Every structure is written in structure tokens, then in C-alpha cells.
Structure 1
């Protein structure tokens, strides 16, 4: 209990007693101390609500103690009899305030309980994903190794083809398992790992790594651009976007970074078939239709990493029919000349 909670009720009792005394000694001017008693009672209840029986008892006690002087002065014709109507009116007003306070308290308690349940469910989900991906890694690796060995050693072409299918499917399962682990890791708070990094250099490194996989050149259009964040996670997000562009898009793939006044904008653009606005929202939230290729986990990972950095992500079709992924991140001060290094590059 805080000091304010501890002293609120005793101080109110003293204040209310003084005002009741003033109601007796100032006939004809008792309206002001009368209202001060009720106003102070409402303030005290707002600081520290009481159980409902105690609230009713206090309300009744205050109504009687403040009502007797009013009735006495009305009987003595010092004040009009109509002024005694304030006794039930103030009591009713106080009880209405009590109802609102209790309703708000119940709503806050329910919101906290729901948030707590959601947090526990999220933690259990993350724990399950981590344990499941860890436990799956070894049997998938072993099964893939035996399937690859069977594919190489067999002299039966049909059996080799079947083993190749098994190898491909096990490879897909391994990638999904890795992405599930990345998804659980993506939403974690980045404040402890954040530092100022050069986004232009990061884009060049990602493009250089994916260049052999892409059919055409991956173009980087970015000057040295400082941004606060976790470099490993941002690189994972960019890898997911470039992988999607390589698998579903058509070259060239363009990586851009632009420094704004208060934010940094990253764009990954390809000339692929593109998607509709509704489909983009589905992919960002992990919804995947049976007719679409892929699990949709890549964009979920990207969204989790971006939101953990306090940013936003959007998917839009390009005029040429491709897809442009736009990421907005909180910016930082520009790098010094020594930090800047090379400018835009084409990989």
C-alpha cells in the first residue's frame, strides 16, 4: 500500500469532521462545507475503492451526519426546506460514481487477465516451437542422410527417383522447421541487441550472397544509411524477402534504402507475378490458401522482425506487374564520412 493510500482515509475523516462542524456553526452558509464533504469523499473513494458493504455504510453515515444540520437549519427556517433535497441527491450522485468506478475497475481487471492469458499462451507457443524444432532437427538430418545415401547407392532408377522425392520433402521440412524457430525468435524485443548499423552495407552483403542463386543481377540502390537495430535479425528479414523474390519473382531484384527525416525506408522489388492487396494482408498474417505455393512463414518472420524494431511493412504491386515490399524503420543520425564507406553498388 502506498503512502497516499494509507493516509487518504484518516486525512479525509479529519477534513470531513471540520466541515461538519462548520455546517453547525455557520447556519445559512452550510452549503459549501456540505459539498466539500461529498467531493472529498468521492476523491478518497477514487484513490482507494472500498468493498461494497463498507461503501454503502460510509455513504449512509455521511448522508446522516451532513443531513442532520441541514434538516435542523431548515426546521429553524434559516434555510429553505427544499435545500434538504440535496441529501438524497448527493448520496445518489456518489453511488452513481461508485458504480462507474467499480465497472471500470472490473474492466481493467478483465483486460489485465486477458493480457496475462495471452502472454502465457504466447510464451507456451514459443516454448513449444523451440522444443519441437530442436527435437525435429536430428531425426530430419538422419532421415535425409539415409535417403541421400540410398539415392546415390541404388542401381534402380525408379528407386533413385523415389529417394530423390524423399530427399526434397525432407529438405522442405528442414526449412520449415528452421523458419518456425526463426518466427518464435523474430518477435523478441530488440532493445538489448540494438546498435547503429549501416543499412546500405547490409543490403550489399545480402545481395552479394544471393547473386549466384538469382538468374540475373541483384541491384542495390542505397547510400550509407544508419539505422538502429539488431543486424542479425534484419539480415534474416532481408534474406526471407530476397528468397521469396528469387523463388516467385523474375529478375531483376532491386534492394533500396532511403533515409527520411525520421525514418528509414527499405524496398525489395521484383518483376514477378505480383499479388492482390487482400492476398498481401493474408500472407502478412500467416494465412495461406491451399492453391498458393509456400508456407507463408517467410513474410510472417519478416513482419515479426520489423514490428520488433518498431517498424511497419507493406506489400504493393508494381506498375510492371511485380511485387514491392516496403519496410519503414525508425531512423538514426547520418553516419560520419569515416563510417560511410562506399556508395550505391550493383552486384
Structure 2
């Protein structure tokens, strides 16, 4: 007996297996809709023969139930046309007979083609909606796959680039220290600076890759007030201590490391593009915990900053706003939002709104 992969039994489902799988995929309502409707329609069609002169009620009940069952479980076009023709004959025969017997007027038989037309118009709308929903789901699936592939590429690329950049920068720094030629030392310093930029870019791309991951799973309680004070102490030497902090204990649910990264991005953006002093404020309003990072101009215009949030520039531009994108991704992963406005001081004010931590 052959045991190779080519001779192994195929795992593809047989027709009977496919039909069984399709049947089990149907909900109870879909499985029983057609048989129950058939019984109901046959009963009302028979009732039309029994009650001449009052057949309009069972007539309309048959067509209404047909529209309902089609909405629950649509059929292919040939089957739909066949069912429509069958219902038209079944309900039209007693109407025609009663009109021929002069129990009702012949004008009543006009309802037969009208109900057929109305049903077919409904079928057209249902099929259009079904096609639109399927197309939207397919587009969403493609977008999700593209996002996952992009995120995976960024993760792999940044991981693979970090090691050679670090090694190259180490050797360049050694050459810079050992060089006795001023011209060569100047050239090597340019290489060191450029490698430093590459290192910062890869770090930010890595941060951007995980920034949008949902932070609600496994979230812990953190104090925004204490976090802002810690961020201010770390950045104070960069701006000669000109960081003003107004904070109060403000508990929220989230990932402390990622929120610290978001604040670092906003403070760095204020330092690079604005003027000291930098103001950090934490407060609570009726529905949210609020963190404000404000510089004193000229900074970036709010409209321009909002463009950078959408990633309109190249990530290699010195004013690319990659830090703003990272901060926005982290805040949105915490079910929050960032607003960028013009500060009274003339600079840019970035305001983070996070859901308040509700007591148990």
C-alpha cells in the first residue's frame, strides 16, 4: 500500500459531505423557513378556493410570507423566478375562477402581476444589499490582511536593521576616537550622526508597529499624575529644567510603558518644534482623564500637525510627525483620542482624552 503524499486520500469534501456541511452551517430559522412557509402558503392557497369573495386576505398573506422567507433565506435567481411563477399560478387560479364566476370583479385579477412585480423589485433590492455587504466584508478582510502584512514587515525590518546599525555605529565611534586626522574625524562624525538617525527611525517604526495593539486586554491601573511627573523629571535636563507640571492623582486603566512612550513622543515634539517652557497638565472632567502637553511656539500649526497625524509626510522627513502618529496609535489603543489646538501661548497644545477609571 502506497504511503506517499500523492497517493494519500484526498481531504477535499465529497458532494454529500459538502451538502452536510452546508446544512449544518444554516441556523434553525434558515433551515425551517422554507418548509414552514410551504405549508403556510399551500394552506392559504387552498383557503382562497373555500372562501370566494374573501380570498384577498389569504392571497396577500401568501405573498407577504414569500417576501419574509426570501429575506431570511434568499434563493438563486432561477429558483426565485420559478417560485414566483408557482405562487402566481397558485394564487391567481382561484382569483381568475372567482372572477369568471362573477363573484369578484375582473379588476381584482390585476393584483397577480402587480404582486409579482412588487416581489421581484424586493428581490432586486435584497440581492443588491447582499452583494454590497459581501463586497464590504471582502474589502475589510483585504484591509485587515494588508495591515497585518505591513505590521509584520515593519517588525521584521526594524528587528533586522537594529543589529547592523548598532555594530556599524560602534565601529564608526571607534574610528572617530582613534582618528588623528581632523578631516577624517569630521567625516566619521557625519557617519555617526547618520547612523544615530537611522537607529532612532528604526526605534520609532518599531514603536509605531505595536502602538495600535489593543491595550484593554490585561490593562492595569496607573496614575497619570505620577506618570507625568516622572516624564517631566526625565526631560527636564534637556530644556534646562523649564518644564512646568500641574498634576493630581488621576487613575486610568492602561499599559504604563506604552502611555509613557506616548507622553515622551509629545514632549519630544514640543521640545524639537516649540519653545520652552513646556507645560504638562493632568486633570479630570466629567467623562475623561485629560493630559495636556503645551509648548510656547512657534511650533507646528494645528492644521499642519493634524496632517502629520495622518502620516502625510515621509517618515524620513525631519518634520514627519512620526512621534505624533505613535502617540495617537497608543492613545486610540486605550480607547482615547488626541486633539491638537493652538495654545494661548501661541504654541501647539496636544490634549489626550482617556476614559476615566470607574470604581467597582
TM score, norm. by length of structure 1: 0.93
Contact 2:270 2:299 in 1 (8 A): no
- Alignment equivalent of 1:174, drawn from 191, 199, 207: 199
Deviations 1:300-319 (A, max 9, x none): 10111111112111211222
Question: How far did residue 168 of structure 1 move?
Answer: 0.8
The reply to whether residue 101 of structure 1 matches residue 126 of structure 2 is: yes
Segments of 5+ residues of structure 1 without an aligned counterpart are 336-347
1:129 to 154, 164, 169: 154
Q: C-alpha displacement at 1:193, in angstroms?
A: 3.0
Question: Does 2:279 match 1:275?
Answer: no
Looking at structure 2, the residues matched to 281 and 207 of structure 1 have their Cα atoms a distance apart, in angstroms, of: 24
Aligned residue in 2 for 1:340: none
Q: Residue in 1 aligned with 2:226?
A: 201
Let me know the Cα RMSD of the aligned residues: 1.6
- 2:290–2:352: 8 Å Cα contact kept in structure 1? yes
**Distance 1:97-1:119 versus aligned 2 partners, 3 A rule:** same
Higher relative contact order (CA 8 A, sep 6+): 1
Report if aligned partners of 2:302, 2:348 keep a CA contact under 8 Å in 1. no
**Matched-pair contact (CA < 8 Å) for 1:274–1:318:** no
Quick one: distance in 2 between partners of 1:22 and 1:321? 81
**2:190 corresponds to which residue?**
165
SS at 1:316 equivalent: strand
SS in 1 for 2:350: strand
Q: Are the counterparts in 2 of residues 262 and 332 from structure 1 also a CA contact under 8 Å?
A: no
Shift in Å at residue 245 of structure 1?
1.6
Is 1:284–1:303's contact at 8 Å kept on the other side of the alignment? yes
> What is the rounded CA distance, in whole Å, between the counterparts of 1:289 and 1:300 in structure 2?
12
Instruction: State TM-score, norm by structure 2.
Output: 0.90
1:211 counterpart SS class: helix
Query: Which aligned pairs between 1:304-315 and structure 2 lie closer than 5 A?
Result: 304-315=329-340
CA distance in 2 between partners of 1:77 and 1:195 (Å): 80
Q: CA-to-partner distance for each residue in 1:205-243, whole Å, 9 max, x for gaps?
A: 111111122223322111101112221111110011111
